[in-house]
Structure 1
Amino acid sequence: MSAAPSPSAGTSQPRRSALKGDTDSERTPPLSASVKAVQIAAPEPPSSADEAQTRKQFPATIARRLSGRPAIQTSSSRTSLFSLGSVDGGTGESGAGASSSSLTEEAQQSQHRHRAERVSEKLLAQVADWLEREKNKKEKKKTHRFTRQKSPPVEKAAEPIPGPAVEPGRARAPSVGSNSSEVSLDRLQRILDDSMAVLGLTSIPHLGPHLGRKHHKKSHKRPPSLSRTVSSDTEFFEGDVVVPSCDAVLDNSKTLSYVGGKAVADDAASISSRREEKEKQAWITFKNEIIRLAHTLALKGWRRVPLDSGEAISVERLSGALTNAVYVVSPPPESVLPPVEGKKQPTKVLLRIYGPQVEHLIDRETELSVLRRLARKKIGPRLLGTFLNGRFEQFFNAATLTPANLREPETSKQIAKRMRELHDGVDLLEEERDQGPAVWKNWDKWLSQAERTVQYVDQQILSGNPGVPRGPGSAWKGRGLICGVEWPVFKAMVEKYRKFLDDHYGNPKEIRQKLVFAHNDTQYGNILRIRPDDEKSPLLVPANEHKQLVVIDFEYAAANLPGYELANHFSEWTYNYHDPIAPYACDTSKYPTLEQQHRFIRAYVDHKPKFSASDASTPKMTPTETPALHSARSASSIVEFTLDARSPPGGWKEQESKNEDATEKRIKELMDETRLWRIANSAQWVSWGIIQAKIPGLVLSPEDGTAEGAAAAAAEEDGVDPDVDPDAFDYLGYAQQRALFFWGDCVLMGLVKLDELPEEVREKVKLVHY
């Protein structure tokens, strides 16, 4: 930081005297020879008001126009200097007969005038800045001196102090500079005031960006820039999250299996075939690309891992994600890494590579925008870096929930609490509310692609010769129509249901007010339970145990009604995506009972999340509650702390009964809302499954250079038929199961009669009466 400018730095003594002004009107600063030669006559008494005004304004106007300084006035004690250029273009004889050349000189002088004004104002600004700092330092010294004074010591016999003898009777000399510096600062302040008056300024000019220091506290936040390396650890700049990104594509088409990504040192199995050797080389190439990408995105600590050292890292693919391929990337042991002073130890990271056919499903820009909003609230995993077809995320030392965990009473209530915190903790944007429930936004967006796919499949099925099923990818050939009926009939029923919803609410504003920020995909694979690091972890406190649960994968997070979110979660109870026989199947017998639904929603309603008051980006600081609940809670707090509090009319038992009635009323409202929106939830996931499916004849060719084509080419080269891939998920089977659930709810809602459905649908329709 540069030193503060001295008041006399770069300024001669005569100039300072001129700025300050003298009390003796006869005292004038020394002038140059050319300036002394100019005769300045005192103004004559005015003969008229107009003439007086002219004579009064003329010298000041000319002087300011030519030199940028006010004219010399004999009646004032202040004096000013005219520059040499001002005299040459003054009111003398040469000025009386101005020619075209003098006009050019006048333009040049005008530029000099503006430049002189800017220099003068900047000089004042610098001096004022220095003066204020000096005053502040002086005040701080006074305060520090006074605060350090102690009470007078108790008199006692003085002890001899070793050292040179002090002359008796001689008082301590006063410190030099204290009073004189205050006088100097006062004089400098008067100079500034007089100079501002001379220049016609009413306030100190503002410092430019390169002049001195600002008096306000500097911000240490830096905007994102390509000129600096952005940290992979989520940073914030004016409320926005700074995350590094690059235009790279990571190809995982040959590493989609769940084995083969271990470090070579840990893999003792010998290579017994050409195919195994090929797979090993594919994994090493894949891991080398991961390291290069980690270097590019500056993942913390990962620059210690040498390039092309893929054999030393471990990459393990996780199961459970249907849309993406998710890997846990582990660094080499510390003993293997080269010692680099100041570099952090690499940590495990989560690598997510987007699925090849999700462009029609997910808007990645919207998803990243949602993740940034969640990062402000510290919800979900931290985003470390993004590339074109994937991203790196924070890795949690956690375990994914299982289908059985959802049915555990305590775990179920913890999920409900976390759901309430998400709904209340992230406020919706106005445009999100204006767009209405996201379920219909998704349906409208996916409609054309789903329609094209399912009509192609229906045509082959209706032809009577779709082919022989050979595996999960082609099992649809032996099951009948995907939606149970032809697509136009299914689509018409969805439109009829949407109209039913509009009539039910009557006013779209009512739906708009009920919208919350919902996750919309709370299946067990998207919920993690963190393993606390030690026994003193705050997550082990009973009040915080629900915070051990972390929700991930916000790809479908958007505005929806709480009832839709509940319907989605309860529907996920009916699935086991790790079932070895039918992972796509919907088992409605596992749908939560009325008692289980009531327990979940009760925990949701009773939970009152608290948010930090300093979090300005969360307008909704407290959850919404009914007036009856609010009054009962306020009265209850009075009873707890006031011994002589008067009980309400009817006594506390009646008040508690009202409180319970209000809670039960809200629970019933949410249960009804859940059943109402369950059809919408099924319709959305039917279209999702159709779009995700890879259908022969619709799969893009390898020449197109797409991920689908690369995967197909790799499979053919290895002699593997995609239709019989044992790891493939049966998306069309999933869509068909959800369609049967859809039709069952339409029957229960009275939108269609059971005998109006085709016979094979009537036999398979899934009815859930609660």
Structure 2
Amino acid sequence: MSAPSPAASAQPLRSALKNDNDGEGSKTPPLSALAKAVHIAEPEPSSHDEASVKKQFPAGIGRRLSGRPPVSTTPSRSSTLSQTPSVEVTSEQELTASPAPIEEPQNTGVASYHRHRIDRVSEKLVAQVAEWLHREKTKKESRKTRKHLSRRKSPSETPEASRPRADSLESESSEVSLDRLQRIIDDSMSALGLKSVPHLGPRLGKKHRKRSSRSLKGAASSDTEFFDGDVLVPSCDASLDNSKTMSYTGGKAGADDNASISSRREEKEKQAWIVFKNEIIRLAHTLRLKGWRRVPLDSGEQISVERLSGALTNAVYVVSPPPESALLPAEGKKTPGKVLLRIYGPQVEHLIDRENELSVLRRLARKKIGPRLLGTFLNGRFEQYLNAAALTSQSMREPDTSRQIAKRMRELHDGVELLDEEKDLGPSVWRNWDKWLAQVEKTVLFLDRQYHDRLNDLARTSSDNWKKRGYVCGVQWPVFKELVRKYRKFLDDQYGDPKKIREKLVFAHNDTQYGNILRVRPDDQKSPLLQPANEHKQLVVIDFEYAGANIPGLEFANHFSEWTYDYHDARYPHACDTSKYPTIDQQRRFIRAYVDHRPRFPYIDSGKSTPATTPTGGVVGSIPTAGSTSSIVDFMLDARVPAGGWKEEERKREEATEKRVKELMEETKLWRTANSAQWVAWGIVQAKIPGLKIAPNGEEDDVTPTEEEETEDDADAFDYLGYTQSRAYFFLGDCVQLGLIKLEELPEETRGRVKLVEF
């Protein structure tokens, strides 16, 4: 018996179309109405003979293993449904149309099988339509919310403006259609014996998630998202006051809340932490951090806020949500995760251009470098939390770790391309100096007068300890400022042409101290980060506040200078210990690892090389290809042997590498003085000076310190003036070695404190 013709197969569908106006009183099965609503024809019954013919065809491997009869090659409802990519509802009439009933085949075995297949496909159809209906209702609700908010924000409406719009009528009609479709789904579930909507297959779910992540409409979510190449991050005009929560203890969740309070000070500290944590929750709600709206407001006692160490310009906290039992119920809503909270330190408005910093973070987000930015507010931001720990002053010196830092530094320098305007502005170390100079000059002149006049011979607070060692910059301000000018001229003379400096500029981090380098701990033991070739990718650099164009040698000088500091030293966290500066061999090991590492980036964006970045275990970074050779000839077995043989070629390469290493080491020593000058200025701007007020006209106003300022002494506060003085001695030592000033020309109290590093 031959297969029915297409005309015959379409007959039931024509019959259904003919009965479009039968209304809701039709007694056809509700599943048939659902199939009609989504434009799917009912199958034509198969005869016993046709089924016999089909059994002669060989089954696939899956069918042979399962023992099931082969599937019909004739178009059927199941095959049509399996090929239907989406669900589409077109009109209200079609929702209530009733197609012709299904006729049962004569052969009971085949009929049973087909009924089983139809039931399975019907369940999938119900799931798909229900999922589509849920999305449509969600969209409609969100549109209503946005319209309601826009009407609240708009001025009072005129009588004309308050009239119903045409789209309101369409919306009501659409809502009726959705309600009828919902009734059809309910009836179909009842007919199939289903108590709940079947689980949707993973393919459609994945496809939907991928589509929704690309179509970014409305406000940005709390994760870094992209729209037309730009990164969208939510922000709000709010501030967090952490002045009373700077300690490294006290922010734990309710475990310590019932502990006995031994003093009034502890009680005040506890209350300050609770207020601080409640404000964090409110801010997380405002910025719509994913999942955090499930955390009840004013439940600060149940969240944990732990301050991390390592950052001087910022206070950094890890914010952990309460347990699941304390969250608000929300079906389908994401469970909140840990986030990193960064609150900018005092005086930083003179130091850091936050708009430029956020612009840099957006560029890094495009390359997927560093943690994601989740939201910003006036004096801080939320970032992605990484399961990582900062390096220590000791671990940074380990040979293997040092090589890994060098590799990551090379990937950053090569992976992020500088803009032409950034190159035109020159090294950012001098841009920072010029930007901070006015504030630094006013402050240092004020401090020089205090020291020179001997108004405070005995240090009343720890912030006055610098006076025991002489001028805060080691010399009077006019002398220090003139030394910086002479040094800059010396640098220009070394290069001869400013264009040569411009050509050497790279995108540099400029603050690679150990607290800004994290080592990620992969949760998955099979993570690619655990492979030897990718081990250096466990290191993630954070805090790009001072990132910008710089010479590679200055980046190295900054990193090597950070070897001389231990910001967690119990007595002298501000002191520079030049005996810890890396030796020649240690410098060579670092720079050699930098030169030997050749990250390979796929070519995107007009032939420019950018890092290939993929998230792995919470970390993202560029992935170089295997091998370090730069020519395809090296992989060709029949390539012509170079003159002198391969050994001669290897010798030339080694000589070229050694030459490059030597150049970078000399460049590092040359720019080390510039690095010290920048951080001297940084320490001055960061310091809180009692009695110094800046008048509205920009001049310093020398006023008598208040009694509160004189007695205020925080033993845990970082000694910025002590840091400045220690850095200044490093700067002066390099100036002496460069011949810019003689040792005997320095003040007597300074000569014995100058830090001379011969290498």
| Fold in common (TM above 0.5) | yes
Residues 384 and 392 in structure 1, CA contact (< 8 A), matched pair in contact too: yes
Measure how far apart 1:633 and its partner are. Answer: 3.9
The 2-side partners of 1:223 and 1:459 are apart by 62
Task: Report what 1:142 is aligned to.
Answer: none
Q: Which residue, out of 373, 388, 410, partners 2:400?
A: 410
1:456 pairs with 2:446? yes
Q: Which amino acid aligns with 1:594?
A: I
Query: Counterparts in 2 of 1:282-431, with a 5 A limit?
Result: 282-431=272-421
Task: Report what 1:680 is aligned to.
Answer: 674
The 2-side partners of 1:639 and 1:223 are apart by 45
TM value normalised by structure 1: 0.66
Q: Which residue, out of 650, 662, 672, partners 1:668?
A: 662
The 2-side partners of 1:601 and 1:588 are apart by 20
Q: Which amino acid aligns with 1:312?
A: Q
The 1-side partners of 2:337 and 2:596 are apart by 38
Measure how far apart 1:641 and its partner are. Answer: 4.3
Change (3 A) 1:634 1:699: closer
The 1-side partners of 2:437 and 2:539 are apart by 34
The 2-side partners of 1:295 and 1:163 are apart by 59
Task: Report what 2:740 is aligned to.
Answer: 751
Residues 473 and 729 in structure 1, CA contact (< 8 A), matched pair in contact too: no
Task: Report what 2:491 is aligned to.
Answer: 501
Change (3 A) 1:647 1:616: closer
Residues 470 and 750 in structure 2, CA contact (< 8 A), matched pair in contact too: no
Change (3 A) 1:605 1:154: same
Instruction: Please give the per-residue CA displacement for 1:235-272, whole angstroms capped at 9, x wherever unaligned.
Output: 00111111000001111122122211111234453112
Measure how far apart 1:545 and its partner are. Answer: 0.4
Instruction: Please give the per-residue CA displacement for 1:531-555, whole angstroms capped at 9, x wherever unaligned.
Output: 1102101110111100000000000
Change (3 A) 1:312 1:700: farther
Residues 291 and 308 in structure 1, CA contact (< 8 A), matched pair in contact too: yes
The 2-side partners of 1:610 and 1:319 are apart by 34
Measure how far apart 1:619 and its partner are. Answer: 4.3
Residues 604 and 610 in structure 2, CA contact (< 8 A), matched pair in contact too: no
Task: Report what 2:718 is aligned to.
Answer: 729
The 1-side partners of 2:391 and 2:611 are apart by 30
Instruction: Please give the per-residue CA displacement for 1:207-229, whole angstroms capped at 9, x wherever unaligned.
Output: xxxxxxxxxxx99777987xx34
Query: Counterparts in 2 of 1:524-535, with a 5 A limit?
Result: 524-535=514-525
Change (3 A) 1:761 1:219: same
Instruction: Please give the per-residue CA displacement for 1:328-347, whole angstroms capped at 9, x wherever unaligned.
Output: 11110112223321111111
Measure how far apart 1:405 and its partner are. Answer: 1.0
Measure how far apart 1:611 and its partner are. Answer: 1.8
Measure how far apart 1:324 and its partner are. Answer: 1.1
Q: Which amino acid aligns with 1:734?
A: Y
Measure how far apart 1:651 and its partner are. Answer: 1.4
Residues 466 and 725 in structure 2, CA contact (< 8 A), matched pair in contact too: no
The 1-side partners of 2:267 and 2:375 are apart by 32
Instruction: Report the more deviating stretch, 525-534 or 606-615.
Output: 606-615
Change (3 A) 1:467 1:342: farther
Query: Counterparts in 2 of 1:600-749, with a 5 A limit?
Result: 600-614=590-604, 618-619=608-609, 633=629, 638=633, 640-642=635-637, 644-698=638-692, 723-749=712-738
Instruction: Report the more deviating stretch, 360-369 or 337-346.
Output: 337-346
Secondary structure of the equivalent of 1:735?
helix
Q: Which amino acid aligns with 1:441?
A: R
Query: Counterparts in 2 of 1:142-181, with a 5 A limit?
Result: none
Measure how far apart 1:731 and its partner are. Answer: 0.5
Residues 284 and 293 in structure 2, CA contact (< 8 A), matched pair in contact too: yes
Measure how far apart 1:751 and its partner are. Answer: 1.6
Task: Report what 2:505 is aligned to.
Answer: 515
Instruction: Please give the per-residue CA displacement for 1:279-301, whole angstroms capped at 9, x wherever unaligned.
Output: 21111111111000000000011
Change (3 A) 1:435 1:232: same
1:545 pairs with 2:535? yes
Q: Which amino acid aligns with 2:506?
A: V
Change (3 A) 1:739 1:251: same
TM value normalised by structure 2: 0.67
The 1-side partners of 2:487 and 2:607 are apart by 37
Measure how far apart 1:580 and its partner are. Answer: 0.4
Instruction: Please give the per-residue CA displacement for 1:382-415, whole angstroms capped at 9, x wherever unaligned.
Output: 1000001110011111111001111100000000
The 1-side partners of 2:599 and 2:536 are apart by 12
The 2-side partners of 1:237 and 1:736 are apart by 47
Q: Which amino acid aligns with 1:466?
A: N
The 1-side partners of 2:381 and 2:258 are apart by 31
Measure how far apart 1:599 and its partner are. Answer: 0.5
1:575 pairs with 2:565? yes
Residues 230 and 298 in structure 1, CA contact (< 8 A), matched pair in contact too: no
Q: Which amino acid aligns with 2:492?
A: D
Measure how far apart 1:604 and its partner are. Answer: 0.4
The 1-side partners of 2:578 and 2:258 are apart by 45
The 2-side partners of 1:634 and 1:339 are apart by 57
Q: Which amino acid aligns with 1:732?
A: L
Q: Which amino acid aligns with 1:566?
A: F
Secondary structure of the equivalent of 1:351?
strand
The 2-side partners of 1:687 and 1:542 are apart by 41
Change (3 A) 1:539 1:699: farther
Q: Which amino acid aligns with 2:553?
A: G
Residues 474 and 723 in structure 1, CA contact (< 8 A), matched pair in contact too: no
Residues 473 and 723 in structure 1, CA contact (< 8 A), matched pair in contact too: no
The 2-side partners of 1:729 and 1:320 are apart by 12
Q: Which amino acid aligns with 2:250?
A: G
Change (3 A) 1:541 1:604: same
Secondary structure of the equivalent of 2:473?
coil
Aligned-residue Cα RMSD (Å) equals 2.9
Secondary structure of the equivalent of 2:351?
coil
Secondary structure of the equivalent of 2:319?
strand
Task: Report what 2:423 is aligned to.
Answer: 433
The 1-side partners of 2:744 and 2:454 are apart by 25
**May I ask how many residue pairs the two structures share in their alignment?**
538
Residues 472 and 728 in structure 1, CA contact (< 8 A), matched pair in contact too: no
Q: Which residue, out of 482, 503, 515, partners 1:492?
A: 482
Residues 319 and 338 in structure 2, CA contact (< 8 A), matched pair in contact too: yes
Residues 690 and 710 in structure 2, CA contact (< 8 A), matched pair in contact too: no
Task: Report what 1:10 is aligned to.
Answer: none
Task: Report what 1:41 is aligned to.
Answer: none
Secondary structure of the equivalent of 2:226?
strand
The 2-side partners of 1:362 and 1:439 are apart by 13
Task: Report what 1:63 is aligned to.
Answer: none
The 2-side partners of 1:304 and 1:415 are apart by 39
Secondary structure of the equivalent of 1:335?
helix
1:767 pairs with 2:756? yes
Change (3 A) 1:721 1:313: farther
Structure 1 unmatched ranges of 5 or more: 1-151, 166-217, 623-631, 702-711
Q: Which amino acid aligns with 2:644?
A: G
Change (3 A) 1:270 1:609: same
Q: Which amino acid aligns with 2:285?
A: H
Measure how far apart 1:466 and its partner are. Answer: 2.0
* Percent of aligned pairs with the same amino acid: 71
Q: Which residue, out of 438, 442, 445, partners 2:432?
A: 442
Greater CA radius of gyration, 1 or 2? 1
